[in-house]
């Protein structure tokens, strides 16, 4: 497996980046002590959102996937664009939604029914479904009856018309329409994957891999006591409201990897051969996707409590690796024995330990890399230079460009 890896050391101050069901910052035991933890799901969402932003700034149309329960809403709008009346479009969208998922009793703010679980689909996939429906002769035959029934008061007629339309909307045709879009505008689905329990053929294994983020040291949650004053109550002193919030601060080890072989597969971002023999997607497109992915993975951070405990920081150290074979390997065992506090803080020792772990894997197990470079915060360069060994340091742009060159 040809793949790339990112190993990141990043310190975050007072924050609650990811909370559990009790509203407390998540934790985990590693090396026999409690660590601060952020779930991979939490950080991946931040990465997906930043990737969309970067792609928008670059005017690329590659990150158009949305995870949502509002499938009926999204598909209804596409069907209306195809000339189908609003009521009929909603009814048809509900029928289609039951093919790939189960409708819930909940409705969204616009009054459309939701599906029970969030689904990851792109605009091109919704367009493909809508086009298949709008161009179907069988659907056109049933459409008039359905639209007429929806304007009448007879529930029996409505039920009969909906049942007839349901039979017309073939499961195979809908699934084929979704798959025909080939993720042409959904690099985020190719990168992060899609689970469709009711129809496994629509499942997409994500080409990217993430680990839960752990602090390199022992970390305890703390409690913030706060009070709020009533601005319009001038006659009484004291607080109008008091409460507490939990938080922590930590230096984290972050790990992410990307399977370059899988990314180039036909069911991900492989080349699409058009009727005239030309290719719509090339290695250059995949390189653009990977470049966006790397930028977003390095820079994104969960936005929880961003207005009251803004934890936005950038990494102190980023090690980028490309390997031609094998599977991605974390360097987290460098911190199985927790880093101890010192006047230098945690970051310097964390970087030194991580580099030592990388060198150890290389020497002990012969695990080598085709490419290995690092971006280092300027003030740390002198303090970590002895642990760098053969790892070259460079700018962020050169690190990303160097890794992108290996995309197939």
| Averaged pLDDT for residues 234-256 | 91
54 and 171 housed in the same domain: no
Query: What Rg, from alpha-carbon coordinates, does the chain have?
Result: 26
Whether 231 is covered by a domain: the verdict is no
Whether 239 is covered by a domain: the verdict is no
Distance CA 55, CA 389 (A): 36
| Averaged pLDDT for residues 294-313 | 93
259 and 271 housed in the same domain: yes
What b/e sequence results for 172-195 when a residue is b if at least 16 CB atoms lie within 10 Å of its CB, and e otherwise? Answer: ebbbebbeebbbbbbbbbbbbbbe
Whether 232 is covered by a domain: the verdict is no
pLDDT at 367: 93
50 and 73 housed in the same domain: no
108 and 45 housed in the same domain: no
* Statement: residue 154 has pLDDT above 90: no
322 and 339 housed in the same domain: yes
Q: What are 95-109's pLDDT values in tens digits?
A: 999 988 999 988 999
pLDDT at 392: 97
Mean model confidence pLDDT for the chain = 93
163 and 266 housed in the same domain: no
SS3 193: coil
Whether 312 is covered by a domain: the verdict is yes
10 and 59 housed in the same domain: yes
Going through 229-369 in order, the beta strands assigned E by DSSP cover: 241-259, 317-323
Largest Cα–Cα separation, the chain: 81
pLDDT at 29: 98
- Which of 81-85, 242-246, 275-279, 333-337 has the least mean pLDDT? 275-279
Whether 226 is covered by a domain: the verdict is no
Q: How far apart are the first and last CA of the chain?
A: 12
- Decide: 183 and 189 in contact? Cβ < 8 Å: yes
Q: What is the pTM of this model?
A: 0.93
Whether 213 is covered by a domain: the verdict is yes
Of the candidates 104, 101, 102, 79, the one whose C-alpha atom is nearest the C-alpha of residue 89 is 79
* Statement: residue 157 has pLDDT above 90: no
* Statement: residue 389 has pLDDT above 80: yes
Whether 74 is covered by a domain: the verdict is yes
Q: Which domain holds residue 174?
A: 66-184
Number of domain units in the chain: 2
pLDDT at 171: 79
Distance CA 403, CA 5 (A): 9
CB atoms inside a 10 Å sphere around CB 276: 5
34 and 117 housed in the same domain: no
Q: What are 35-89's pLDDT values in tens digits?
A: 999 999 999 999 999 999 999 998 888 999 999 999 999 999 999 999 999 999 9
179 and 323 housed in the same domain: no
Q: What are 263-294's pLDDT values in tens digits?
A: 999 999 998 766 666 767 789 999 999 999 99
148 and 256 housed in the same domain: no
* Statement: residue 159 has pLDDT above 90: no
357 and 289 housed in the same domain: yes
Distance CA 408, CA 404 (A): 9
278 and 354 housed in the same domain: yes
Distance CA 399, CA 291 (A): 10
């Amino acid at each position: 497996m040809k793949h790339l890896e990112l190993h990141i050391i990043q310190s975050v101050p007072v924050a609650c980046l990811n909370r559990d069901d009790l509203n407390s910052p998540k934790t985990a035991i590693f090396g026999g002590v409690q660590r601060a933890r952020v779930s991979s799901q939490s950080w991946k969402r931040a990465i997906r959102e930043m990737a969309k932003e970067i792609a928008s700034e670059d005017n690329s149309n590659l990150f158009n996937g949305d995870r949502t329960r509002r499938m009926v809403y999204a598909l209804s709008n596409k069907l209306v664009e195809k000339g189908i009346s609003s009521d009929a479009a909603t009814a048809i969208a509900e029928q289609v939604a039951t093919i790939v998922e189960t409708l819930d009793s909940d409705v969204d703010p616009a009054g459309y029914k939701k599906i029970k679980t969030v689904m990851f689909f792109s605009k091109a996939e919704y367009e493909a479904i809508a086009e298949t429906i709008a161009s179907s002769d069988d659907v056109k035959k049933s459409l008039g009856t359905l639209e007429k029934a929806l304007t009448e008061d007879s529930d029996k007629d409505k039920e009969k018309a909906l049942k007839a339309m349901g039979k017309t909307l073939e499961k195979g045709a809908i699934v084929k329409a979704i798959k025909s879009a080939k993720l042409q505008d959904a690099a985020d689905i190719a990168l992060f994957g899609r689970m469709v329990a009711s129809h496994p053929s629509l499942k997409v294994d994500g080409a990217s891999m993430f680990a839960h983020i752990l602090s390199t040291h022992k970390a305890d949650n703390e409690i913030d006591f706060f009070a709020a004053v009533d601005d319009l109550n001038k006659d009484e002193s004291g607080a109008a409201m008091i409460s507490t919030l939990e938080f922590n601060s930590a230096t984290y080890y972050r790990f992410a990897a990307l399977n370059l072989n899988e990314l180039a597969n036909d069911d991900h971002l492989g080349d699409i051969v058009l009727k005239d023999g030309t290719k719509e997607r090339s290695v250059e497109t995949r390189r653009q996707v990977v470049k966006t992915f790397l930028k977003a993975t390095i820079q994104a951070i969960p936005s929880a409590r961003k207005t009251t405990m803004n934890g936005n920081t950038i990494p102190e150290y980023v090690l980028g690796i490309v390997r031609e074979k094998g599977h991605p390997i974390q360097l987290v065992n460098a911190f199985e024995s927790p880093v101890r506090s010192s006047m230098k803080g945690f970051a310097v020792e964390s970087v030194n330990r991580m580099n030592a772990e990388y060198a150890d894997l290389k020497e002990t197990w012969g695990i080598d890399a085709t490419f290995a470079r690092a971006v280092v915060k300027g003030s740390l360069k002198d303090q970590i230079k002895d642990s760098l060994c053969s790892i070259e340091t460079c700018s962020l742009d050169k690190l990303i460009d160097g890794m992108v060159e290996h995309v197939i």
